[in-house]
Amino acid sequence: MTLPAPVPDITPETETFWKATATGRLLIQRCAECERCVWYPRFLCPACHSTDLLWTEASGRGTVHSATVTSRGILDYKDAGSYVLALVELDEGPKMLTNVVECDPAEVFIGQRVEVVFHDTGAGVALPRFRPVTEAVAIPGA
Amino acid sequence: MSIRGKAFIAGAYEHPGRELPDHSIPRIHAEVALGALADAGLTLVDVDAYFCAADAPGLGGLAMADYLGLRVRYTDSSDMGGSVYLSHVGHAAAAIAAGKCSVALITLGGRPRTTSLRAPGQLMGAPPEAGFEPVFGLNVSAVYALAAARHMYRYGTTSEQLAEIKVAASLHAQHNENALLRKPVTVEQVVSSPMVSSPLHRLDCCVVTDGGGALVLVNEDIARGLDRRCVKVLGHGEAIEHSHGGWQDITVTGAVRSGRDAFDEARVTPADVDYVGLYDSFTVTALLAIEDLGFCAKGEGGRFVLDGALQAPHGVLPFNTDGGSLCNNHPANRGGMTKIIEAVRQVRGEAHPAVQVPGCEIALAHGTGGWLTTRMGNATVILGREDA
């Protein structure tokens, strides 16, 4: 079943982030003072309180930090059935709530490597979700 | 300055209703206010301070003070979700200690069972994370499940261990004639109940009930003049814990800080506590609180709750003897209030005889409001006998 792709609440603070999703880029903010990456986008760094946050393009790769198969969706997900809500730790450090898609929900596991995919909302922006990384397997003798 | 021994809980009342389709929410607030004041031997005329959460009808406490006809000189309608009533006890005690008021009324009322549930984060307009959570189908059970799954991964905690928490609550609830769920359940029944958000099953989740509760706090002079046995507020602590820009440890709650502050103020340790009321929105909520308040080492909660540790009257740490929110009551989707009310019953020696902890002198009530994984309010109150 295809997950709903609701249109996000876009504010002046988050407009840059959402515009980039239209071209398949996952932006995150990095603090110029303490160099930590921050999720979700905001006006100031919650670690050192500097307002010098710079947009940077994330690798789009991460690791499943935790995941649940939930069947209790609300709002746009009321009729979504069972789906995976996950906390993905980006390779840049911060963890973000998202979905893991393109696989059997029961096969998602903590520690799994995932990569970003963008799901169009139909309103000019796309939702960053993640799918399992299919690592290239070296075939002996090939 | 400390609030230790400066304020007393003189009245506590839990609404007996669990389905109240014909009650307005203001009426529920009024019924519990009258109940708690009657318990104290006081009336609405005596009240000079009013506390409610931001979900009370109207702007802050204004509409309810109007509806109840209160003459208020001190008010606080701050909110931290279901944990806020413990916070309000601390705030009321501080106001009483400072001489700002002498009789504080705290009320809770709501009807989530007979009206539709509200979505998380939808209470007061769009919060800053609004664009980044609901779009992925965040729901309450799922964010608690994420913490549970990570705790299992990191510490080897099992579903069977979480189920022991529900089993203890259900054994207590059988003695509470008002409890929504009075039938004892087994570990096997919990783990074989339908999965809601893995690894949390249906029976890992609290009930949804209408209803409410209220408390009355008074200063020492008034407490001395009342016939009713009062309960002394010994300490309080609160903490907001959150996502730290995406760097949070989702297996740890703000109970680490709120508990430490409350124990320091009360000048007691976990070993001194005879009874605990722990907000049990889900089994895992209580598990994390047990660890973070210091009743066992971090990661040991799953093993700690085995062998009837939480079962009253003789367990190592008797908890939620009214059946808690897992079985008894979760009015307005806010479970902090009933945790204090049952703690007051225990310290007064008025819990059901089957679950009354013998010689209960020190009780702790703790709430975890909002959400695990993302952001939560945490508040801890430590109560003692009047002569403590």
Q: Which tens digit of pLDDT belongs to each residue from B230-249?
A: 999 999 999 989 999 999 99
Does residue B45 share a domain with residue B151? no
Q: Clarify whether residues B227 and B158 are in a common domain.
A: no
Q: Are residues B214 and B184 in the same domain?
A: no
DSSP state of B299: T
pLDDT reading at B319 higher than 60: yes
Residue B121 lies in a domain: no
Same domain, B218 and B101: yes
Q: Which pLDDT belongs to residue B43?
A: 95
pLDDT score for B121: 44
Same domain, B193 and B222: no
d(CA B14, CA B350): 13
Contacts of A20 in chain B (CB under 8 A): none
Question: What is the mean predicted confidence (pLDDT) over B47-75?
Answer: 90
Decide if B1 is inside a domain: no
Pairwise CA distance, residues B144 & B376, whole Å: 11
Residues of A in contact with B138 (CB under 8 A): 85, 97
Residues B200 and B221 in one domain: no
pLDDT tens string A27-53 = 999 999 999 999 999 888 888 899 899
Confidence of residue B132 (pLDDT cuts 50, 70, 90): very high
User: Domain containing B278: what range?
Assistant: 130-207+235-385
Q: What is the CATH number of the domain that holds B299?
A: 3.40.47.10
Average pLDDT of span B75-92? 95
At residue B147 the predicted structure's pLDDT band, cuts being 50, 70 and 90, is very high
Q: What is the pLDDT of residues B156-166, one digit of tens each?
A: 999 999 999 99
| pLDDT on residue A137 | 61
Contacts with B179 (C-beta within 8 Å, 6 or more apart), sequence order: B173, B322, B323, B327, B328, B329
- Please check whether residues B197 and B297 belong to one and the same domain: yes
pLDDT score recorded for residue B358: 97
Average pLDDT over residues B243-264: 96
Q: Examine the domain organization and report whether B106 and B174 are in the same domain.
A: no
Does any domain span residue B120? no
Q: Are residues B243 and B172 in the same domain?
A: yes
For strands B49-51 and B103-110, give the pairing: parallel
**pLDDT value at residue B58:** 83
Q: Do the Cβ atoms of B150 and A38 come within 8 Å?
A: no
What was the pLDDT predicted at B388?
A: 67
- Percent residues over pLDDT 70 in chain B: 97
Domains contained in chain B, number: 2
- The answer, for A136 touching chain B at a CB cutoff of 8 Å, is no
B120: pLDDT strictly greater than 50: no
CA–CA gap between residue B77 and residue B369 (Å, rounded): 15
Read off the pLDDT of each residue in B118-143 and give the average, rounded to a whole number.
Answer: 78
Residues B34 and B89 in one domain: yes
B362 found inside a domain: yes
Chain B residues at the A interface, defined by Cβ less than 8 Å, are 117, 119, 126, 128-143, 145-147, 149-150, 153, 195-200, 243-248, 250, 373-374
Q: Which residues of B touch A87 (CB under 8 A)?
A: 146, 150, 250, 373
Q: What is the pLDDT of residues B365-377, one digit of tens each?
A: 999 999 999 999 9
Residue B124 falls inside a structural domain: no
Do B229 and B373 lie in a common domain? no
The shortest C-alpha distance from A99 to chain B (Å) reads 6
Residues of chain A with pLDDT under 70: 1, 136-142
Query: Residue A140: what pLDDT?
Result: 61
Cβ of A51 under 8 Å from any chain B Cβ? no
Question: Nearest-CA distance from A22 to chain B in Å?
Answer: 15
Same domain, B90 and B137: no
